[in-house]
Structure 1
Amino acid sequence: MQIHTPDWVKHAIFYQIFPDRFAQAELKPPVSLAPLSLEAWNLPPTSQGYKGGNLWGVLDKLDYLQDLGITALYFTPIFQSASNHRYHTQDYYQVDPLLGGDEAFFRLLEAVHGRGMKLVLDGVFNHTGRGFFGFHDIVENGSNSPWLDWFKIEGWPIAPYDGDRPANYRGWFGNRALPELNHANPAVREYIMRVAEYWTGRGIDGWRLDVPFCITEAGFWEELRQRVKAINPEAYLVGEVWTNQRPWLDGSRFDGVLNYVFAGATIAFAGGDHVDPQQVADRDYEAYPAIDALSYGEKMQLLLHAHPWEIQLTQLNLLASHDTARLRSITHEPETSKLATLLLLTFPGAPSIYYGDEVGLPGELDPDSRRSFPAEADWDLEILRCHQELIGLRRARMSLRVGEYRFLGENYKTYVFARIYEGDVLIVAVNAAAEFGKIDLEGVGTRLGTQPSQILFRTQQFEPKSQLEPDADSKSPQPRDPVQVIWTADNLFLALPPRTGILLG
């Protein structure tokens, strides 16, 4: 079958926002009339506490996001819910009043589109919250409820709140706060389809689809794709799939998945022995143990050849999310963030930055990974510089967005590849080792048809006082820059300081 994916995604820079934690602004009546019990913004988050971030706050931060180079926003759920993360949906047709309600959302959507940006929502269609109208009716009326077949009731009485008794209904992974919908019921299926159609028709640019592997009814995702694309053929459908991507990416279901396969390999290579196993142990993205450049290259080649190129260009590549620890807490040092960000922003597919990662926000596993966006005084300006420069380069160079990815060579923990598009050739080299990395690439000039030698980006800035001085005993002065890029005839020699990456053009 011919595969078509949204063209805009191939050129997008995504930014994932957890609305309760990104930005605060004053709410409007009636919510603003009542004092709200909120956790202090700068204190560690708890599982059930609210910080008070909202969509008005996001609206106020659009200048910051656009200056960073972001072109698309992906929100975790925003519909009315009884949880700070809002995966406990109560009303699929109502934006949560604590986030500013429908008024704030449509003002934000208009402003985002006015800046030429896109907006993607999170669709949680496997389960609801206990406050969803159908399940609430079952709680109130038991076996007399007309909504029994909307859920997976297994016995009576049900116990939605009493943990000492059997729940007697199916909850997502046994969580009684998340009753699973019965998708075998045509009415349930139609309800979900209409929710997806409604918000697509109101102007959103796509859906991130939560735990799609839990909905196993034949044809469900194919139908959702057809109905959403009938309204907006360029709508982006991206699934939360952690491991086995291939069944989802034949063009009949999703345009891409959250690329945790890329994330795991990249963290294992860039982080190496710095990775704290406790921060990645309970997730399925293989960020530990450490791997060398050979293994990393093999994993990238397998990933790149697993799907059609049209799909690869609309994968949602990421390094962290609300479901993982953040890079700064996975390795407890900043260099992994810089190296991994270089690999992220130069890989085929749309990069997604988890809010705060661009300024070095720490965060261990949930709920700590959902910290509030930090005050400017707490930003890591070097990590921010890396994001700013790499995003600028990606937006300026077609080769980084849609160009061929060509492996050039590896040596221990030094990995080198090129991105190529219509004569624009860029070389990326990363040394993830704790010692100097050197590599000879024979004949690479002929293979590339050019000899890129200008350093367009480097993860490590070098001050003059730390640069090498000429060797007085040598006829030829030693290079002042510890990064060496030397072309000899058709061969390229690279020497990179420990934990350093560069981009040549």
Structure 2
Amino acid sequence: MQNIIEYNSWDKNFKAPFGALKFDEELMINVKVNEGYNVESISLEINKEDESKTIILNEELNNNTLRKYFYCKVGKFDITGVYFYYFKVIAEINGEKKTVFYGKNRENGYTCEYNYNDINKYQITVYRDFKVPNWYKEGVLYHIFVDRFNNGNRNGKVDNPKKNSFIYGNWDDIPMYIKDNRGDIIRWDFHGGNLRGIINKLGYLKKLGVSILYLSPIFEASSNHKYDTGNYKKIDPMFGDEDTFKELIDKAKEKDISIVLDGVFSHTGADSKYFNMYGNYDSLGAYQSKESPYYSWYVFEEFPHKYKSWWDIKTLPNTNELEKSYMDYIIYDKDSVINKWMNMGIKGWRLDVADELPTEFIRELRKELKEADNDSILIGEVWEDASNKISYGQRRSYLLGEELDSVMGYPFRNNMFSFLKGEINSYELSNKYMQIKENYPEESFKSNLNLIGTHDVTRAKTELNNDIDLMKLAVATQMTFEGVPYIYYGDEAGLCGDVDPDNRRTYPWKNEDEDMLNFYKNIIKIRNKNKILSSGGTEFIYTKNDNVFAFIRFNEYNDRILILINRSNNPENISLNIEGNFIEEIPIKYNLKNINKNIQIENNELKIHMDSKSFIIFSVF
């Protein structure tokens, strides 16, 4: 195919401003005509769902190069949303007038000619401006699965064990599910971690460099994971009580550590005060009677045995989130679930399975949350690019300024591991990250949770085949990247584990991998001491080397830090054309190899030798 025009959405000479667009901003588009082509007209075709708009570009001749340029100014958009665009070009080709279509190259921001029915369109995210609190954007988050983190009782006793449950004899026993021949869990297993255990380890978390604690659900429930809520307004007795939780909040605050809770609102447990399938609660549950005050919270197809449930798991009946009494109970009431725990001092919520929550529910919850504490945070569990996600046939609007402040950064994890395992090269990795940066509003990108492990995926160390050097490269990237680093408890101690339940092993107190732990402490310290790393912007650098990933973090004063990541089993020599003087930022005591410090600079070209599976951080002056 011929290349009649040149355009690159990642270059401000062609599109300004870069990336997502604030609701009140105008957009400038410039298209260059390549030599040898006679273009009659270029139109910008903008689509949003069933809406479409055509803008004819103006023609201009550059007197110096005698090359044609086409440009236009796109006025302010009427409503927020995800818009898509492409170019229609009418040109003379081989003496014949033809219409050709240009969309986005699937690898980068450049244009590519397409057949009309196959156009890969460019995206513009148009959003209402919003600000995410600095304590969150510039923090380091630590995720605790409460039952598996620490038992705070001096005698190690498990508090208030549940009926028909299984208590492990040793803290370091490997978790397993006890199921019947149909695969249903018949006994939940517990190790005995509790809130007192977290209080006792606040000093450890502070020394690690953590400033945000995200707790997996802590409300009363049958299971060890608590995603089957039994009572939203009661701490599970195995974890503690409200007094203990308040003590945790207050003592964490003294150490400048904020608490974020997990909100599971798309479903409850069948064993709950609301559904009460097993009669374990004093309440009149929806399963028991149509006269139950909670009956309207659920969707029964055939009362009482046939009802909608989460992924058809009958122990997790779906809620009717927009039902008025449910909205009151969770959001609006003075003592609603949101208000009760916000008033106690938590700083925000992580919404479980955000894709299954109605847009109106998320927006209303956000309003109540911000009214209770304007400095609070709302995070959503979204596994893909959250800017253009479609769930249940509906385009979601998570990042348009009225819903989520932050999302779970699974694309960060997936892309990083693909690079470290040799599935993609450094150029492809840069482009994949650049695509997210282009699609996300600036505040969303700065608030993105850059995770490498959670309770729902294989442990990072196991994912990387227990390669400690690669694990450190993943962590080094995570801690120097734009966004919020997310540590899954125990990763810093060298925990491994396959998928659930193996990825939920107990924290190995007194048996930590000290080298890995010290590495985490050191790299987090580097992040926390360098404001550029916690709040600066990002520029991706193409190294011309498949194995070396590079990016620059910068601030408004043009202070810069360069990060280089070499995944290769072999040493690599690289050359970068970057202006400035280079000085190693901080000697990394626990780096992977002894770095060759012989750096050569010739005509603004940085030449450096990198050891195998190593990284280097430089200040650029």
Q: TM-score, normalised by structure 2?
A: 0.70
1:360 aligns with 494
1:231 aligns with 372
Q: Are residue 188 (structure 1) and residue 329 (structure 2) matched?
A: no
Q: Are residue 257 (structure 1) and residue 407 (structure 2) matched?
A: yes
Give the alignment's Cα RMSD to 1 decimal. Answer: 2.1
Alpha-carbon spacing, 1:450–1:264, altered in 2? closer, same or farther (3 Å): same
Using the TM superposition, name which of 324-333 and 85-94 deviates more. 324-333
Query: How far is the alpha carbon of 1:385 from its aligned partner?
Result: 2.5
Structure 2, unmatched stretches of 5+, are 1-127, 178-187, 277-283, 388-396
Alpha-carbon spacing, 1:398–1:151, altered in 2? closer, same or farther (3 Å): same
1:174 aligns with 312
2:398 aligns with 248
Structure 1, unmatched stretches of 5+, are 159-167, 273-289, 464-480
1:287-326 matched pairs, under 5 angstroms: 290-326=423-459
Matched AA of 2:138: H
Q: Are residue 2 (structure 1) and residue 129 (structure 2) matched?
A: yes
2-side partners of 1:31 and 1:490: how far apart? 63
Query: How far is the alpha carbon of 1:140 from its aligned partner?
Result: 6.0
1:141 aligns with 288
Contact 1:259 1:318 in 2 (8 A): yes
2-side partners of 1:242 and 1:32: how far apart? 35
Matched AA of 2:520: H
| Cα offsets for 1:69-107 (capped at 9, x unmatched) | 111100000001100001111111111110012121111
Q: Are residue 424 (structure 1) and residue 564 (structure 2) matched?
A: no
Question: Residue 514 of structure 2: which of 362, 365, 381 is its match?
Answer: 381
1:45 aligns with 175
2:576 aligns with 441
1:468 aligns with none
2-side partners of 1:301 and 1:34: how far apart? 49
2-side partners of 1:215 and 1:32: how far apart? 34
1:283 aligns with none
1:398 aligns with 531
The size of the alignment, in residue pairs, is: 455
Matched AA of 1:491: E
Contact 1:456 1:504 in 2 (8 A): no
Q: Are residue 451 (structure 1) and residue 589 (structure 2) matched?
A: no
Contact 2:275 2:286 in 1 (8 A): yes
Q: Are residue 154 (structure 1) and residue 284 (structure 2) matched?
A: no
Matched AA of 1:429: L
Q: Are residue 124 (structure 1) and residue 253 (structure 2) matched?
A: no
| Cα offsets for 1:480-500 (capped at 9, x unmatched) | x54653223411012212211
Q: Which has the higher contact order (CA 8 A, sep 6+)?
A: 1
1:23-34 matched pairs, under 5 angstroms: 23-26=150-153, 32=159
2:203 aligns with 63
1-side partners of 2:399 and 2:338: how far apart? 20
Matched AA of 1:183: E
Q: TM-score, normalised by structure 1?
A: 0.86
Query: How far is the alpha carbon of 1:55 from its aligned partner?
Result: 0.6
Alpha-carbon spacing, 1:50–1:12, altered in 2? closer, same or farther (3 Å): same
Query: How far is the alpha carbon of 1:27 from its aligned partner?
Result: 8.2
Contact 1:124 1:209 in 2 (8 A): yes
1:222 aligns with 363
Contact 1:41 1:51 in 2 (8 A): yes
2-side partners of 1:9 and 1:61: how far apart? 21
Q: Name the SS of the counterpart of 2:565 in structure 1.
A: strand
Matched AA of 2:612: P
Q: Name the SS of the counterpart of 2:329 in structure 1.
A: helix
1:16 aligns with 143
Query: How far is the alpha carbon of 1:31 from its aligned partner?
Result: 8.0
2:102 aligns with none
Contact 1:315 1:350 in 2 (8 A): yes
Q: Name the SS of the counterpart of 2:444 in structure 1.
A: helix
Q: Are residue 486 (structure 1) and residue 597 (structure 2) matched?
A: no
2-side partners of 1:210 and 1:91: how far apart? 16
1-side partners of 2:274 and 2:549: how far apart? 54
Give the structure with the higher percent strand.
2
2-side partners of 1:83 and 1:139: how far apart? 20
Query: How far is the alpha carbon of 1:269 from its aligned partner?
Result: 1.1
Alpha-carbon spacing, 1:461–1:145, altered in 2? closer, same or farther (3 Å): closer
Alpha-carbon spacing, 1:32–1:461, altered in 2? closer, same or farther (3 Å): closer
Matched AA of 1:500: S
Matched AA of 1:404: G
Query: How far is the alpha carbon of 1:149 from its aligned partner?
Result: 1.4
Question: Residue 215 of structure 2: which of 75, 78, 87 is its match?
Answer: 75
Query: How far is the alpha carbon of 1:451 from its aligned partner?
Result: 2.8
1-side partners of 2:304 and 2:536: how far apart? 59
Q: Percent identity?
A: 31
Q: Are residue 91 (structure 1) and residue 231 (structure 2) matched?
A: yes
Q: Name the SS of the counterpart of 2:176 in structure 1.
A: coil
Matched AA of 2:462: S
Alpha-carbon spacing, 1:263–1:321, altered in 2? closer, same or farther (3 Å): same
Matched AA of 1:219: E
Contact 1:338 1:459 in 2 (8 A): no
Q: Name the SS of the counterpart of 1:340 in structure 2.
A: helix
2-side partners of 1:496 and 1:144: how far apart? 71
1-side partners of 2:161 and 2:496: how far apart? 33
Query: How far is the alpha carbon of 1:124 from its aligned partner?
Result: 0.4
Q: Are residue 212 (structure 1) and residue 354 (structure 2) matched?
A: yes
Contact 2:172 2:506 in 1 (8 A): yes
Q: Name the SS of the counterpart of 2:477 in structure 1.
A: helix
1:203 aligns with 345
Contact 1:455 1:502 in 2 (8 A): no
Bigger radius of gyration among the two: 2
| Cα offsets for 1:113-151 (capped at 9, x unmatched) | 111111100000111111222211346634454432110
Query: How far is the alpha carbon of 1:452 from its aligned partner?
Result: 3.3
2-side partners of 1:250 and 1:2: how far apart? 8
Query: How far is the alpha carbon of 1:413 from its aligned partner?
Result: 1.1
Contact 2:522 2:590 in 1 (8 A): no
1-side partners of 2:499 and 2:485: how far apart? 22
Q: Which runs of 4+ in 1 moved over 6 A?
A: 33-36
Alpha-carbon spacing, 1:9–1:182, altered in 2? closer, same or farther (3 Å): same
Contact 2:582 2:618 in 1 (8 A): no
